[in-house]
Structure 1
Amino acid sequence: MRHLRALCAIADTGSLRKAARQLGMSQPSLTTQLRRIENTVGGRLFSREVTGSRPTPLGRSVLNRARPIVAEMNALVSEVRLEVGQAAGEALRIGSTGSRAVVGWLRRLRARFPDADTTIHIDVSANALLEMVAAQQLDAAFVHEVEGTPLRVPEGVRRRVLLAREPQFVALAETHPAADAPVVRLTDLADDQWMVDPAGDGEGPGLRRVLTAAGLNPRVVYGDYLTAADLVASGEVVAPCQPTARSRPGMVVRPLYGDPLTVGLYLASRAPDAGGAAVSADVDALFADLETAYLEIAWASDAYRQWLLRNDSPLVRVRDARTPVPLADIGLAGPSDGA
């Protein structure tokens, strides 16, 4: 079963690196495992191409038999866990792509459901999280979708919009010539090397699309965002980042002029007619706590708070309805270049 899961993960992600991360193992270990499987079946199951790993005709044949087996096993495991959870008390399993809102979300959920065993699963791949929701391995997941590169939403999964359009800012070295500007233009970064995490669904293609539309063709390299932060601070690269990201020594975070890079933010859960959640928790409550947690970190960022206000974001109205605050008290500035 472990081997079948590995094959499905490679096929679904199209990448040994992404599949290894999804499976919680190193890429060399997964590569070794794939070679053993191929030696066992007597042929290559994936072709290694520049764009990733693609199933060979033999691979497609094996996958056609493997997928139903994996699906049945996932369903069996989910049912057993549900029965165990019902016997021992409620379990609340949530997932998220990387977000600073997760800490506040968890804190609120544990306060709301003190008797539930609340766990969090973090994965850079939104598609992987959606598959886990579909398989009832997660009750809900907070995911983002890069504009222009839609996610694969499995049947039986519904999404509720937290924010239809979140701007992506840029992280650059504090010594960068554009670092002193309140808003940075893409042309200010024309000579820079960009870095994105290839395991983030749609992030590489999304960035390429935006750079091409701006008439730019800089070098784009790939790496995880923890490594990127150090490289940004050293001046080696610039990188797109969430608007709630905080500056750190040697690195600043700035809005991009015209908001060329945006993502949609969603809470994904099972549709009621597809089995619903494995817990009695109301999805409305999960969403309300996520919304509050997100607002908390959004308002802590001066640049992002100004963006929300200037763009008349629905989140501003949500916040005002909950905790009305005069605009003068939160430093509303007049329109500026790039607002």
Structure 2
Amino acid sequence: MDLELRHLKTVRAIAEAGSLTRAATALGLAQPALSAQLKRIERALGGPLFERSRDGVRATALGDLVLERARVVLPAVCELQEEAVRFAREGASGYRLGGTHGPLLGGLVDRLARTEEEAQVTTYTSWSEREVAGGVVAGRLDFALVGVCGESSPPEAGRLAWTEVARDPVYVMLATGHPLASRAHVELAELASEDWTDVPGDGCFGDCFAAACVRAGFTPARVYETDTASCVHLVQVGRAVGLCRATFPATPGIVTRPLSGAPLLWRHLLGWHPEGRAAGRAPAVLAHARSAHEEALSRSAGRTGAAV
């Protein structure tokens, strides 16, 4: 029998589980089937890989050697597969952009479509910054346009190149009839009795917001986490106040105001794979993203004072 990658994965699973029973469960196999497979692997490698006891299994000297090699081989093969997929998918011309919600992605698409009319521009959106970054790592996307709270590290920081597009203070959305709507700035502590609404995400923004509220002397009574349209509706009808980026567009029935002292910051980031074939286009895409941010900021509700 020739040794295959799946055999190394089986040996690794047994070592990590510490017993054949637990490894069989993790691999979705019956224990007798796993035991038989292990025996075949051991015959192929020339000796036992594990010592069995009532407490489970422990790697032999040969088993330690195989596991040491597996720790090198398996990640290398995984990386090779990712690079091959990325190379194949990046062969086509055009731009594959991933992003979270917000006006910057639309602005970036518009600029690329205007300046490179022949290029195909496709987009993928998700609430998950990690999912978007993972798409770039796997070669399904060329660029990720996401945001992080304050100085937090972006997802896949060790595998992708990230550059800051811009940074903005986080604003509060208020209904036009709210008592604080006419103010130029709003103290976070003045909103202690309010219900809140915000969009979901898998970064640390929720924790940063909770910490800012604690520093302001209160804990939010209720936070409605929902999609952008529902957040806007809840603010418009006075059910809640919301958090938004400074680039939030002017919207009927809503005003946006900066929080005094800027207790929360948002960094817009552009990421790409440094070894990807789209890496050479990163400076141009970054310039377009920064222009999109400037335009979105100039048209935002906070800048225009709309609906006050």
TM-score greater than 0.5 by the shorter chain: yes
Distance, in Å, in 1 between the alignment partners of 2:89 and 2:244 is: 40
Distance, in Å, in 1 between the alignment partners of 2:194 and 2:76 is: 45
Q: Which residue of structure 2 aligns with residue 294 of structure 1? A: 293
Deviation at 1:222, TM superposition (A): 3.5
Q: Which residue of structure 2 aligns with residue 282 of structure 1? A: 281
Q: Which residue of structure 1 aligns with residue 94 of structure 2? A: 91
CA contact (8 A) 1:193 1:238 kept: yes
Q: Which residue of structure 1 aligns with residue 251 of structure 2? A: 248
Q: Which residue of structure 2 aligns with residue 171 of structure 1? A: 173
Q: SS in structure 1 opposite 2:173?
A: strand
Query: What letter corresponds to residue 283 of structure 1 in structure 2?
Result: A
Which deviates the most, 290-299 or 103-112? 103-112
Mapping of residues 222-233 of structure 1, within 5 Å: 222-224=224-226, 225-233=228-236
Q: Which residue of structure 1 aligns with residue 111 of structure 2? A: 108
CA contact (8 A) 1:148 1:206 kept: no
Structure 1 residues 250 and 305: alpha-carbon distance in aligned structure 2, compared to 1, 3 A threshold: closer
Q: Deviations over 1:283-307 (max 9, x none)?
A: 100111111111111122373489x
Task: State the TM-score, normalized to the length of structure 1.
Answer: 0.62
Structure 1 residues 213 and 84: alpha-carbon distance in aligned structure 2, compared to 1, 3 A threshold: closer
Deviation at 1:118, TM superposition (A): 1.6
Which one of the candidate residues 253, 257, 260 is aligned to 1:257? 260
CA contact (8 A) 1:149 1:205 kept: no
Deviation at 1:151, TM superposition (A): 3.3
Q: SS in structure 1 opposite 2:208?
A: helix
Query: What letter corresponds to residue 283 of structure 2 in structure 1?
Result: D
RMSD, aligned CA: 3.1
Query: What letter corresponds to residue 123 of structure 2 in structure 1?
Result: I
Q: Which residue of structure 2 aligns with residue 158 of structure 1? A: 161
Q: Which residue of structure 2 aligns with residue 144 of structure 1? A: 147
Query: What letter corresponds to residue 175 of structure 1 in structure 2?
Result: G
Which one of the candidate residues 208, 212, 220 is aligned to 1:206? 208
Which deviates the most, 130-139 or 166-175? 130-139
Distance, in Å, in 2 between the alignment partners of 1:69 and 1:230 is: 49
Distance, in Å, in 2 between the alignment partners of 1:116 and 1:133 is: 19
CA contact (8 A) 1:105 1:293 kept: yes
Which deviates the most, 242-251 or 137-146? 242-251
Q: Deviations over 1:92-138 (max 9, x none)?
A: 21111222122221121123333332211112222222222222221
Structure 1: 5+ residue runs without aligned partners? 1-36, 43-64, 307-339
**In the alignment, structure 1 residue 130 sits paired with structure 2 residue 133:** yes
Which one of the candidate residues 188, 191, 204 is aligned to 2:190? 188
Deviation at 1:247, TM superposition (A): 3.8
Question: How many residues are paired up?
Answer: 239
Deviation at 1:72, TM superposition (A): 6.5
Q: SS in structure 2 opposite 1:160?
A: strand
Distance, in Å, in 1 between the alignment partners of 2:261 and 2:151 is: 16
CA contact (8 A) 2:255 2:302 kept: no
Q: Deviations over 1:193-242 (max 9, x none)?
A: 11223334222111101101111112132422321111111111111101
Structure 1 residues 191 and 92: alpha-carbon distance in aligned structure 2, compared to 1, 3 A threshold: same
Distance, in Å, in 1 between the alignment partners of 2:128 and 2:272 is: 16
CA contact (8 A) 1:105 1:289 kept: yes
Structure 1 residues 278 and 148: alpha-carbon distance in aligned structure 2, compared to 1, 3 A threshold: closer
Q: Which residue of structure 2 aligns with residue 79 of structure 1? A: 84
Structure 2: 5+ residue runs without aligned partners? 1-24, 31-69
Q: Deviations over 1:268-317 (max 9, x none)?
A: 1112xxx2x334752100111111111111122373489xxxxxxxxxxx
Task: State the TM-score, normalized to the length of structure 2.
Answer: 0.67
Query: What letter corresponds to residue 167 of structure 1 in structure 2?
Result: P
CA contact (8 A) 2:82 2:137 kept: no
Overall identity of the aligned pairs, in %? 25
Query: What letter corresponds to residue 177 of structure 1 in structure 2?
Result: P
